[in-house]
Chain A
Amino acid sequence: MIALVLPLLLLVSATASAGGHEFDDLVKAIERHYGTRRTHIPLMGVANLFVKVAHPAGTSGLKLALFDNLTVSDEDAAQLNRFMEAAAGGGLHPTIRTHSRGGEAAFLYTGEAGRNTRVLIATFDRNQATVIEVTVSMEVLMKLIQSPGDANQMFGIGS
């Protein structure tokens, strides 16, 4: 178990250097807005949630925050948009937002990072949310633009 969790922790925590504080700002805003705390990854196994963080080619500097038990059932797409407009972005450019009637939503913010792009992704799925910050190649960015809702799958985050 420790062997599984330790590399994951190192991967998530050791990559917090690049970029601004948009990731932390958004995580704090979600915590405040929904009155919750990000899920600590070592407890994921106990919570019967299987999380495997992949590091696909063309990505670096991954930061990840997961949230469970959000009370978003009475929040519609317009309200979520307003929350994200106020909470996210900072120095990043709002690039894509998607909503589905099933309550899934994805928000993607981008900013230049040399030859690559720094991307902040927030996905909401009923009572769960994921915030990812990662630097990606243009090829990966194009895939994210085509299917922003698949970001979790792309980075191997599943429940």
Chain B
Amino acid sequence: MRFAALLAAVLVPLTAQEIKMPPGLDKLAAKAEESVDITLDSSMLRMAARFLSDKDADEALARKAISGLRSITVHSFQFANDGQYDPADVAAIRSQLQAPPWSRMLGVKSRSTGEDVDIYFKVDAGGQLGGIFLLCAAPRELTLVSLVGTIDPEHLADLGGQFHIPALDFDYHRFRGAK
């Protein structure tokens, strides 16, 4: 119900409330096999939106997805061995997402792979969506994605694979139906 109200709301941006990254995260790059940090601001996203074609189905979806965003930030680390990052660092991020305006909208934990995926929505007092935070923690991988601005939740998966955002097997309509 709460989710339906969220969807029905007109999507307007909120004032950005940055999630503070733990200091340990900066040192993780030294332990990681590969690390990627991306920050795309609104001007870059505007340019990207102009470039993406309406004729190509995937590009059209991505274009729609980024049209209301003000920034995309991605921190991605891949490790050669398990246990290279400190779970306390991940917990420090999660703790910032436990209270309003953030709500955890989806959490998937895989026993077989150890992958732990959480999606948080930032919702203002009027029920409007202003940001999404994605946390993917696996034994050998840690990815943090922050989307600031307006995005229709059903377009979230369309950003998977773009801008180093992991592919998201997230069907919003199915998820909404299950709520």
Report the 3 A-B pairs with minimum CB-CB distance, sorted nearest first: A138-B51, A77-B29, A76-B30
21 contacts between A and B (CB under 8 A): A76-B27, A76-B30, A77-B29, A81-B29, A93-B44, A94-B39, A95-B39, A95-B40, A95-B44, A97-B37, A99-B30, A100-B34, A100-B35, A101-B34, A101-B80, A112-B43, A117-B44, A117-B47, A138-B48, A138-B50, A141-B51
User: For residue B32, which residues in chain A have a CB less than 8 angstroms away from its CB?
Assistant: 99, 101
User: For residue A138, which residues in chain B have a CB less than 8 angstroms away from its CB?
Assistant: 47-48, 50-51
- A108-149 vs B: 1/0 string, CB under 8 Å? 001010000100000000000000000000110110011000
- B80-94 vs A: 1/0 string, CB under 8 Å? 100000000000000
A46–B76 CA distance with the chains assembled, in angstroms? 40
Q: Is B38 an interface position by the 8 A CB rule? A: yes
User: For residue B35, which residues in chain A have a CB less than 8 angstroms away from its CB?
Assistant: 77, 98-100
For B161, give the chain A residue with the smallest CB separation.
A146
A97–B28 CA distance with the chains assembled, in angstroms? 13
* Contact, CB under 8 Å: B38 / A145: yes
User: For residue A76, which residues in chain B have a CB less than 8 angstroms away from its CB?
Assistant: 27, 30
Q: A76-B30, A95-B44 are in contact. Are A145 and B51 (CB under 8 A)?
A: no
User: For residue B27, which residues in chain A have a CB less than 8 angstroms away from its CB?
Assistant: 76-78
User: For residue B41, which residues in chain A have a CB less than 8 angstroms away from its CB?
Assistant: 93
A37–B30 CA distance with the chains assembled, in angstroms? 27
Q: Is B163 an interface position by the 8 A CB rule? A: yes
Q: Is A154 an interface position by the 8 A CB rule? A: no
User: For residue B33, which residues in chain A have a CB less than 8 angstroms away from its CB?
Assistant: 100-101
User: For residue B39, which residues in chain A have a CB less than 8 angstroms away from its CB?
Assistant: 93-96
A54–B97 CA distance with the chains assembled, in angstroms? 47
For A138, give the chain B residue with the smallest CB separation.
B51
User: For residue A141, which residues in chain B have a CB less than 8 angstroms away from its CB?
Assistant: 47, 51
Q: Which residues of B are at the interface with A, using a C-beta cutoff of 8 A?
A: 26-27, 29-30, 32-41, 43-44, 47-48, 50-51, 80, 163-164
A21-66, CB < 8 A from B: none
Q: Whole-angstrom distance from the CB of B99 to the nearest CB of chain A? A: 30
A97–B48 CA distance with the chains assembled, in angstroms? 19
A77–B36 CA distance with the chains assembled, in angstroms? 11
A146–B36 CA distance with the chains assembled, in angstroms? 10
* Contact, CB under 8 Å: B29 / A99: yes
User: For residue A93, which residues in chain B have a CB less than 8 angstroms away from its CB?
Assistant: 39, 41, 43-44
* Contact, CB under 8 Å: B51 / A96: no
A145–B38 CA distance with the chains assembled, in angstroms? 8
A100–B47 CA distance with the chains assembled, in angstroms? 29
* Contact, CB under 8 Å: A139 / B51: yes
For B40, give the chain A residue with the smallest CB separation.
A95
For A76, give the chain B residue with the smallest CB separation.
B30
A7–B87 CA distance with the chains assembled, in angstroms? 54
Q: Whole-angstrom distance from the CB of B179 to the nearest CB of chain A? A: 34
Q: Whole-angstrom distance from the CB of A66 to the nearest CB of chain B? A: 24
For B33, give the chain A residue with the smallest CB separation.
A101
* Contact, CB under 8 Å: B34 / A99: yes
A47–B34 CA distance with the chains assembled, in angstroms? 31
User: For residue A117, which residues in chain B have a CB less than 8 angstroms away from its CB?
Assistant: 44, 47
